[in-house]
Structure 1
Amino acid sequence: MKPAFHIGTTRKGSTLALVPAGDLDLDSCPAFDQVEQMADQGTTVVACSMERVPFMDLNGLHCLLALAHRLETRGTRLIVYAWQPQPRRLLGLVDDLSDLPDAKVRERLAAAAALRSVLDHRAHEGHDHGVRTPDSGSVRSGAIAGLSRRPGAFRSSAA
Protein backbone atom coordinates (compact mmCIF):
# COMPACT_ATOMS: atom_id res chain seq x y z
CA MET A 1 0.00 0.00 0.00
CA LYS A 2 1.37 3.40 -0.97
CA PRO A 3 1.72 6.12 1.68
CA ALA A 4 -1.13 8.62 1.84
CA PHE A 5 -0.68 11.80 -0.16
CA HIS A 6 -0.72 14.96 1.92
CA ILE A 7 0.15 18.63 1.54
CA GLY A 8 2.06 20.51 4.21
CA THR A 9 1.27 24.21 4.34
CA THR A 10 2.87 27.29 5.81
CA ARG A 11 1.51 30.81 5.59
CA LYS A 12 3.61 33.92 5.87
CA GLY A 13 1.91 37.16 5.02
CA SER A 14 0.24 36.89 1.63
CA THR A 15 2.20 33.76 0.61
CA LEU A 16 0.90 30.24 1.07
CA ALA A 17 3.77 27.73 0.80
CA LEU A 18 2.88 24.13 -0.10
CA VAL A 19 4.93 20.96 0.19
CA PRO A 20 2.92 18.07 -1.28
CA ALA A 21 4.29 14.64 -0.38
CA GLY A 22 3.54 11.36 -2.13
CA ASP A 23 2.30 10.33 -5.55
CA LEU A 24 0.24 13.00 -7.33
CA ASP A 25 -2.62 11.15 -8.97
CA LEU A 26 -6.44 11.08 -9.01
CA ASP A 27 -6.57 10.20 -5.30
CA SER A 28 -4.62 13.40 -4.54
CA CYS A 29 -7.04 15.86 -6.11
CA PRO A 30 -9.20 16.47 -2.99
CA ALA A 31 -6.10 17.74 -1.15
CA PHE A 32 -5.68 20.45 -3.79
CA ASP A 33 -9.33 21.45 -3.39
CA GLN A 34 -8.58 22.06 0.29
CA VAL A 35 -5.57 24.17 -0.65
CA GLU A 36 -7.78 26.41 -2.76
CA GLN A 37 -10.02 26.98 0.26
CA MET A 38 -6.96 27.95 2.34
CA ALA A 39 -5.86 30.47 -0.29
CA ASP A 40 -8.23 33.24 0.75
CA GLN A 41 -8.53 36.69 -0.78
CA GLY A 42 -5.42 37.87 1.08
CA THR A 43 -3.23 35.27 -0.66
CA THR A 44 -1.30 36.72 -3.59
CA VAL A 45 1.14 33.83 -4.16
CA VAL A 46 0.92 30.07 -3.72
CA ALA A 47 4.43 28.56 -3.85
CA CYS A 48 4.47 24.79 -4.33
CA SER A 49 7.67 22.76 -3.87
CA MET A 50 7.45 19.42 -5.69
CA GLU A 51 10.58 18.05 -4.01
CA ARG A 52 8.60 15.31 -2.23
CA VAL A 53 6.48 14.24 -5.22
CA PRO A 54 8.33 11.36 -6.89
CA PHE A 55 5.46 10.43 -9.25
CA MET A 56 2.75 12.33 -11.12
CA ASP A 57 0.30 10.93 -13.66
CA LEU A 58 -1.97 12.82 -16.05
CA ASN A 59 -4.71 12.99 -13.41
CA GLY A 60 -2.26 14.66 -11.04
CA LEU A 61 -1.24 17.08 -13.77
CA HIS A 62 -4.90 17.86 -14.31
CA CYS A 63 -5.21 18.63 -10.56
CA LEU A 64 -2.39 21.17 -10.84
CA LEU A 65 -3.86 22.66 -14.01
CA ALA A 66 -7.26 23.05 -12.35
CA LEU A 67 -5.72 24.65 -9.25
CA ALA A 68 -3.63 27.01 -11.39
CA HIS A 69 -6.70 28.06 -13.37
CA ARG A 70 -8.85 28.64 -10.28
CA LEU A 71 -6.12 30.63 -8.56
CA GLU A 72 -5.41 32.71 -11.66
CA THR A 73 -9.08 33.69 -11.97
CA ARG A 74 -8.79 35.11 -8.43
CA GLY A 75 -5.57 36.95 -9.18
CA THR A 76 -3.37 34.57 -7.17
CA ARG A 77 -0.07 33.42 -8.69
CA LEU A 78 0.95 29.76 -8.54
CA ILE A 79 4.69 29.06 -8.55
CA VAL A 80 5.68 25.39 -8.78
CA TYR A 81 9.32 24.42 -8.46
CA ALA A 82 11.79 21.69 -7.37
CA TRP A 83 10.36 19.13 -9.80
CA GLN A 84 11.50 15.53 -9.42
CA PRO A 85 12.65 13.63 -12.55
CA GLN A 86 9.48 11.63 -13.34
CA PRO A 87 7.01 14.56 -13.10
CA ARG A 88 9.42 16.66 -15.18
CA ARG A 89 9.52 13.88 -17.82
CA LEU A 90 5.72 13.81 -17.86
CA LEU A 91 5.62 17.54 -18.59
CA GLY A 92 8.08 16.95 -21.44
CA LEU A 93 5.95 14.13 -22.86
CA VAL A 94 2.88 16.35 -22.77
CA ASP A 95 4.85 19.01 -24.65
CA ASP A 96 5.86 16.42 -27.26
CA LEU A 97 2.26 15.26 -27.71
CA SER A 98 1.13 18.81 -28.37
CA ASP A 99 2.95 18.58 -31.74
CA LEU A 100 0.58 15.85 -32.99
CA PRO A 101 -1.61 16.76 -35.98
CA ASP A 102 -4.91 15.73 -34.29
CA ALA A 103 -6.73 18.98 -33.41
CA LYS A 104 -8.64 17.39 -30.53
CA VAL A 105 -5.44 16.12 -28.93
CA ARG A 106 -3.78 19.51 -29.37
CA GLU A 107 -6.77 21.24 -27.78
CA ARG A 108 -6.72 18.94 -24.75
CA LEU A 109 -3.00 19.40 -24.28
CA ALA A 110 -3.01 23.17 -24.77
CA ALA A 111 -3.83 23.75 -21.11
CA ALA A 112 -0.94 21.54 -20.00
CA ALA A 113 1.43 23.33 -22.37
CA ALA A 114 0.22 26.67 -21.01
CA LEU A 115 0.89 25.50 -17.45
CA ARG A 116 4.35 24.30 -18.46
CA SER A 117 5.09 27.71 -19.98
CA VAL A 118 3.82 29.55 -16.91
CA LEU A 119 5.72 27.22 -14.58
CA ASP A 120 8.94 27.66 -16.53
CA HIS A 121 8.51 31.45 -16.54
CA ARG A 122 7.76 31.54 -12.83
CA ALA A 123 10.65 29.20 -12.07
CA HIS A 124 12.91 31.73 -13.77
CA GLU A 125 11.29 34.51 -11.71
CA GLY A 126 11.94 32.49 -8.56
CA HIS A 127 15.51 31.88 -9.67
CA ASP A 128 15.95 35.63 -10.17
CA HIS A 129 14.81 36.06 -6.56
CA GLY A 130 17.23 33.44 -5.22
CA VAL A 131 15.28 30.15 -5.32
CA ARG A 132 17.59 27.34 -6.34
CA THR A 133 16.20 24.11 -7.72
CA PRO A 134 17.95 20.73 -7.88
CA ASP A 135 18.70 21.48 -11.54
CA SER A 136 20.61 24.61 -10.57
CA GLY A 137 22.51 22.62 -8.01
CA SER A 138 22.10 24.75 -4.93
CA VAL A 139 18.90 23.78 -3.19
CA ARG A 140 18.92 21.54 -0.19
CA SER A 141 16.12 19.47 1.20
CA GLY A 142 13.89 21.69 3.28
CA ALA A 143 14.72 24.89 1.40
CA ILE A 144 10.99 25.66 1.30
CA ALA A 145 11.39 26.60 4.96
CA GLY A 146 13.21 29.71 3.77
CA LEU A 147 10.00 30.92 2.14
CA SER A 148 8.15 31.02 5.41
CA ARG A 149 10.80 33.21 7.01
CA ARG A 150 11.05 35.79 4.26
CA PRO A 151 7.69 37.35 3.38
CA GLY A 152 7.52 38.56 -0.18
CA ALA A 153 10.92 37.16 -1.15
CA PHE A 154 11.60 33.74 -2.60
CA ARG A 155 15.04 32.93 -1.31
CA SER A 156 16.32 29.64 -0.15
CA SER A 157 17.71 29.53 3.35
CA ALA A 158 20.58 27.61 1.72
CA ALA A 159 21.56 30.60 -0.43
Structure 2
Amino acid sequence: MSTFTVVTQQHPDRAVITVCGEMDLETCPELAQAASVIALDSKPLYLDLSGVSFMDSSGLNLLLLLHQRLRGEGSRLALTGLQPHVVRLLQVTGTYALFSADIPTVVGADAALTV
Protein backbone atom coordinates (compact mmCIF):
# COMPACT_ATOMS: atom_id res chain seq x y z
CA MET A 1 0.00 0.00 0.00
CA SER A 2 1.26 3.48 -0.86
CA THR A 3 1.34 6.46 1.47
CA PHE A 4 -1.73 8.68 1.26
CA THR A 5 -1.41 12.42 1.83
CA VAL A 6 -3.84 15.32 1.67
CA VAL A 7 -2.48 18.89 1.70
CA THR A 8 -4.81 21.89 1.81
CA GLN A 9 -4.00 25.45 0.75
CA GLN A 10 -6.02 28.64 0.80
CA HIS A 11 -5.56 31.22 -1.97
CA PRO A 12 -7.43 34.51 -2.41
CA ASP A 13 -9.41 33.13 -5.36
CA ARG A 14 -9.64 29.40 -4.57
CA ALA A 15 -8.91 26.58 -2.16
CA VAL A 16 -6.65 23.72 -3.25
CA ILE A 17 -6.42 20.19 -1.94
CA THR A 18 -3.51 18.15 -3.27
CA VAL A 19 -3.97 14.40 -3.04
CA CYS A 20 -1.21 11.78 -3.33
CA GLY A 21 -1.62 8.02 -3.15
CA GLU A 22 -4.54 5.68 -3.63
CA MET A 23 -8.10 7.00 -3.40
CA ASP A 24 -10.06 4.04 -2.10
CA LEU A 25 -12.45 2.98 0.64
CA GLU A 26 -9.71 3.23 3.27
CA THR A 27 -8.34 6.68 2.32
CA CYS A 28 -11.36 8.62 1.07
CA PRO A 29 -12.59 9.53 4.57
CA GLU A 30 -9.40 11.54 5.11
CA LEU A 31 -9.98 13.51 1.91
CA ALA A 32 -13.67 13.97 2.75
CA GLN A 33 -12.71 15.35 6.16
CA ALA A 34 -10.22 17.81 4.63
CA ALA A 35 -12.83 18.99 2.11
CA SER A 36 -15.47 19.41 4.80
CA VAL A 37 -13.41 21.74 6.99
CA ILE A 38 -11.75 23.94 4.35
CA ALA A 39 -13.35 27.39 4.15
CA LEU A 40 -14.56 28.15 0.63
CA ASP A 41 -16.70 31.28 0.96
CA SER A 42 -18.11 30.61 -2.56
CA LYS A 43 -14.59 30.14 -3.99
CA PRO A 44 -13.97 27.07 -6.13
CA LEU A 45 -12.27 24.02 -4.68
CA TYR A 46 -9.45 22.69 -6.81
CA LEU A 47 -8.55 19.03 -6.30
CA ASP A 48 -5.05 18.35 -7.60
CA LEU A 49 -5.10 14.65 -8.42
CA SER A 50 -1.72 14.52 -10.18
CA GLY A 51 -0.33 12.31 -7.40
CA VAL A 52 -3.23 9.85 -7.36
CA SER A 53 -1.87 6.42 -8.29
CA PHE A 54 -5.21 4.59 -8.08
CA MET A 55 -8.89 5.48 -7.75
CA ASP A 56 -11.77 3.07 -7.25
CA SER A 57 -15.52 3.61 -6.98
CA SER A 58 -15.06 5.09 -3.49
CA GLY A 59 -12.96 7.89 -4.97
CA LEU A 60 -15.47 8.44 -7.75
CA ASN A 61 -18.32 8.54 -5.24
CA LEU A 62 -16.46 11.13 -3.18
CA LEU A 63 -15.94 13.32 -6.28
CA LEU A 64 -19.65 13.11 -7.06
CA LEU A 65 -20.62 13.97 -3.46
CA LEU A 66 -18.19 16.93 -3.44
CA HIS A 67 -19.59 18.15 -6.76
CA GLN A 68 -23.13 17.99 -5.45
CA ARG A 69 -22.28 19.65 -2.12
CA LEU A 70 -20.31 22.50 -3.69
CA ARG A 71 -23.04 23.20 -6.26
CA GLY A 72 -25.52 23.39 -3.41
CA GLU A 73 -23.27 25.90 -1.62
CA GLY A 74 -22.89 28.08 -4.71
CA SER A 75 -19.33 26.97 -5.39
CA ARG A 76 -17.73 24.54 -7.84
CA LEU A 77 -15.23 21.73 -8.03
CA ALA A 78 -12.21 21.81 -10.36
CA LEU A 79 -10.23 18.62 -10.95
CA THR A 80 -6.61 19.16 -11.95
CA GLY A 81 -3.73 16.84 -12.76
CA LEU A 82 -5.93 14.00 -13.94
CA GLN A 83 -3.95 10.85 -14.63
CA PRO A 84 -4.99 8.58 -17.52
CA HIS A 85 -6.46 5.93 -15.19
CA VAL A 86 -8.68 8.55 -13.51
CA VAL A 87 -9.83 9.91 -16.88
CA ARG A 88 -10.61 6.35 -17.95
CA LEU A 89 -12.65 5.74 -14.77
CA LEU A 90 -14.65 8.90 -15.43
CA GLN A 91 -15.21 7.90 -19.06
CA VAL A 92 -16.22 4.31 -18.31
CA THR A 93 -18.72 5.41 -15.66
CA GLY A 94 -20.21 8.13 -17.87
CA THR A 95 -19.22 10.89 -15.44
CA TYR A 96 -16.50 12.52 -17.54
CA ALA A 97 -19.04 14.84 -19.16
CA LEU A 98 -20.20 15.96 -15.70
CA PHE A 99 -16.66 16.83 -14.64
CA SER A 100 -15.74 18.45 -17.97
CA ALA A 101 -18.76 20.75 -18.28
CA ASP A 102 -16.73 23.97 -17.96
CA ILE A 103 -13.17 23.17 -19.00
CA PRO A 104 -11.09 26.35 -18.74
CA THR A 105 -9.11 27.45 -21.76
CA VAL A 106 -5.86 27.29 -19.77
CA VAL A 107 -3.45 24.70 -21.16
CA GLY A 108 -0.82 22.68 -19.34
CA ALA A 109 -0.37 22.06 -15.64
CA ASP A 110 -3.00 24.65 -14.73
CA ALA A 111 -5.70 23.08 -16.89
CA ALA A 112 -8.63 21.78 -14.92
CA LEU A 113 -11.96 20.07 -15.25
CA THR A 114 -14.37 22.41 -13.53
CA VAL A 115 -17.86 21.53 -12.39
Q: TM-score range by the shorter chain?
A: 0.7 to 0.9
Contact in 2 for aligned 1:48/1:80 (Cα 8 Å): yes
The counterpart of 2:100, out of the listed 102, 120, 125, is 120
1:47 matched to 2:46: yes
Q: Equivalent residues in 2 for 1:3-42 (5 A)?
A: 3-40=2-39, 42=41
Which residue identity does 1:45 align to in structure 2?
P
TM-score, normalised with respect to structure 1: 0.62
RMSD value, Cα: 2.2
Alignment gaps of 5+ in structure 1: 96-112, 133-138, 145-153, 155-159
Q: Write out per-residue CA displacement over residues 55-111 of structure 1, whole angstroms, 9 at most, x where no aligned residue.
A: 11111101111111111111111000221111111112112xxxxxxxxxxxxxxxx
Once residues 17 and 62 of structure 1 are traced to their aligned partners in structure 2, the CA distance between those partners, rounded to angstroms, is 19
Aligned counterparts of 1:41 and 1:88: Cα–Cα separation in 2 = 26
> Which structure dedicates a bigger proportion of its chain to strand?
2
The structure-2 alpha-carbon separation of the partners of 1:35 and 1:45, relative to structure 1 and needing over 3 Å to count, comes to same
Amino acid at match of 1:64: L
User: Moved runs in structure 1, 4+ residues, more than 6 A?
Assistant: none
Larger Rg: 1
User: TM-score w.r.t. structure 2 length?
Assistant: 0.82
What secondary structure does 1:27 align onto? coil
How far 1:39 moved relative to its partner? Answer: 3.1
Count of aligned pairs = 112
In structure 2, how many angstroms separate the alpha carbons of the residues matched to 1:46 and 1:33? 13
Sequence identity (%)? 25
Mapped contact 1:50–1:81 kept (Cα < 8 A) = yes
1:61 match: 60
Q: Secondary structure at the match of 2:36?
A: helix
Gaps of 5+ in 2: none
